[in-house]
């Protein structure tokens, strides 16, 4: 597991580097995104990573989309960070999570922006649906926002 602690987290810096370069193979995000997603499963750990949410949403919203594995892992991390955490849900709402996720749904449905029917696309879909479920759980504002966006009926 990649080393990632709140005290020495370099994920925000790695995301900035990743988005600023045209050669995204030089900035490996997957191990860090995987670790963050794993750590965020614990309620005691997830509260330590509040500052990672805005850069994660910036990464998720990047056009063209980042590679599908990193995208799925970043969405998984967001989904785990918002479990039973209204502060994290509010940060996501303030950083436009609804239109970001709507764009990804559209890209999956239309197979645009490099998203096609692959095993990785299935992981992306699963993580996206899980993140939405965690965002809307016991949160009427986000429930209504996702309903109004047409993402959930």
Tens digit of pLDDT for each residue in 105-136? 888 888 766 676 666 778 899 999 999 999 99
**Could you give the residue ranges of the DSSP H alpha helices within the chain?**
11-20, 30-39, 43-46, 53-61, 68-81, 86-94, 97-110, 119-136, 140-149
Compute how many other C-beta atoms are within 10 angstroms of the C-beta atom of residue 9.
18
Q: CA-to-CA distance for 146 and 152, rounded, in angstroms?
A: 6
Compute how many other C-beta atoms are within 10 angstroms of the C-beta atom of residue 81.
27
Quick one: tokens of 38?
Answer: 């794993």
pTM higher than the cut 0.85: yes
Q: Is the pLDDT of residue 1 over 70?
A: no
Look at residues 62, 61, 63, 44 and name the one whose alpha carbon lies nearest to residue 6.
Answer: 44
| Residue showing tokens 């559209």 | 106
Tens digit of pLDDT for each residue in 63-75? 888 888 999 999 9
Tens digit of pLDDT for each residue in 27-68? 789 999 999 999 999 999 999 999 999 999 999 999 888 888
The beta strand positions in 2-61, using DSSP E, are: none
Look at residues 72, 74, 63, 69 and name the one whose alpha carbon lies nearest to residue 14.
Answer: 74
């Amino acid at each position: 597991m990649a080393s990632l602690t709140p005290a020495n987290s370099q994920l925000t810096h790695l995301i900035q580097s990743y988005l600023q370069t045209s050669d995204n193979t030089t900035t490996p995000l997957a191990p860090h995104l995987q670790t963050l997603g794993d750590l965020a499963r614990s309620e005691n750990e997830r509260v330590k990573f509040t500052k990672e949410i805005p850069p994660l949403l910036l990464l998720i919203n990047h056009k063209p989309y980042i590679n599908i594995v990193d995208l799925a892992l970043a969405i998984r991390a967001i989904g785990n960070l918002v479990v039973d955490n209204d502060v994290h849900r509010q940060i996501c709402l303030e950083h436009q999570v609804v239109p970001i996720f709507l764009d990804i749904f559209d890209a999956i449905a239309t197979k645009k922006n490099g998203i096609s029917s692959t095993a990785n696309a299935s992981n992306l879909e699963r993580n996206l649906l899980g993140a939405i479920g965690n965002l809307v759980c016991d949160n009427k504002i986000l429930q209504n926002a996702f309903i109004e966006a047409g993402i959930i009926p």
